Amino acid sequence: MAGAQTPIALRDALVAQPRAVSAYVGEAFVSHRGEPLPIADPATGKVIVILHESDAGEVDAAVRAARHAFDHGPWPKSGIATRQRVLMAIHDAIMTHADELAALESINTGVPLAQTRGMHIPRAAYNFKFFAEYINHSAGELYQQEEGFLTLVSREPMGVCALIGPWNVPLGLTSMKLAAALAFGNTCVVKPSEMTPLTVARLFELMRDCGLPEGVVNLVNGRGHVTGAALSGHPEIDMVSFTGGTETGRAIMTALAKGIKGSAMELGGKSANIVFDDADFDRALDGALLGVFANNGQMCLAGSRIFVQRPIAERFMEAFAARMRNLRIGDPLVPGNELGPMINAAQKQRMRDYVRIGESEGATLLAGGGSVTGMESGHYVQPVAMLAQDNGARLCQEEIFGPFATFQVFDTEEEVVRLANESRFGLAGYVWTEGLGRAHRVAQALRTGTIWVNTPMVRDLRSAFGGYKESGVGREGGRGCEAMYTEIKTVMVPVAERAIHKLGASDA
């Protein structure tokens, strides 16, 4: 695939000859061809990928390759310098092919090219660089408090890790799992979403020249109930890391419980975005728009529940709706466009359905909700803003996963904390206020894993990221991934001779 192709030319080439994507087992893409699944470009509706689904047999081959590489290969016992060289080689390969990968990501997901090239692909590369640096400073523990003993605590690779990525940020989020699992010496079987396989498959092509031993990384493709179920239920995996919907996460955890396997789940969200009347109005408005509409609104940490304090509520909602109407909707490959299509027809219909649901619950449509004229071949929708009357309404409690903002008006700090916490999710939250004390009080009171104060979403990979309640189990980030992808071993060694009680040695 020529890196010099323009994004439009690359799309045209994929339409003319849809790319076949298959599994990667051991050190090569396999010749076996499972059930072909056509994958369409969400912007045009034209088929760009023929995905060959991995059945249980193909999943078994991939897991066994990873198991053999872990039990008998050099990677788990390799030195830190070796792992760092490989991780940095992958980083460099991603950055060398960043333009191509960004174009593939935009074509496959519908996310505007400015976002995939500016954020998603650099983040995917940085994941490998970060963990290459992190493992150089990872340390064990030594305890000397027990008289006469040294107690050594070390971390060892977990084993065979099943890494199941999402469709909304396929390379950026799947690479986080892969970089961390590899850094700590594990072997892997990766399953990207069947809807967005292009960039992960391309990454596997690039990794072939980065120094990984045979069997350390393996790729399977397919739907959750076929490929995903075979992978999460396989007896030879040691853990599953999954990013996706809460119901799918619950099903995976149920399967893992049968084998007492570990899991890390980053699941759904319905994040509160709280705007107090003392906030920097323009900054809060910019942040709220970005928090709902970045990545086409299809992100689990979207600040889609916007709470605005009454004195500024009417002005804020009017300004939000006006800016929303001016969003440039169109082909994600065209520079300047800010909102692309939904991933598929089901997500497009979901947006329409929730407008009707909201109106049936007494919510007021502030703006949006119509069709996008002239773009009927793709899954384009107008973004939506609605004013809800009841925090218990479906509009306020269910994850819509699209460019859909739900407003509520509040009066007091105590009231908005209560409303924000009345959710089965707890992934992220946003607080906009010029009051330092208020910012800390609200941040401490919110039952959510990550809170951004006076800023839209940013990630520091040194810190933990994950959710409370039904938003997940476990944390990603430096220490979180170290806990996720390693086992802890304790070794006690006597440093002074100690008498051992001699059972059965006494004269009867």
Active-site residue list: 266, 300
Q: Count CB atoms within 10 A of the CB of residue 272.
A: 29
Q: For residues 487 and 159, give the distance between their C-alpha atoms in angstroms, rounded to a whole number.
A: 9
Give whole-number Cα distances, 24 to 172, 179, 201, in Å. Answer: 20, 17, 9
Pairing of strands 28-29, 24-25: antiparallel
Residue with tokens 């800010």: 338
User: Residue 122: exposed, middle, or buried by beta-carbon count in 10 A (0-12, 13-18, 19+)?
Assistant: middle
Asked whether 265 and 249 are in contact (CB, 8 A), the reply is: yes
Query: Cα angle at 448 between 401 and 277, to 5 degrees?
Result: 85
Q: For residues 111 and 119, give the distance between their C-alpha atoms in angstroms, rounded to a whole number.
A: 11
Give whole-number Cα distances, 130 to 119, 134, 171, 213, 231, in Å. Answer: 15, 6, 16, 21, 28
Q: Tell me, letter by letter, the H, E, C secondary structure of 473-500.
A: ECCECHHHHHHHCEEEEEEEEECCCCCC
Asked whether 476 and 465 are in contact (CB, 8 A), the reply is: yes
DSSP label at residue 465: B
Question: In one letter, which amino acid is 178?
Answer: L
Q: Tell me the residue length of the chain.
A: 508
User: Residue 152: exposed, middle, or buried by beta-carbon count in 10 A (0-12, 13-18, 19+)?
Assistant: middle
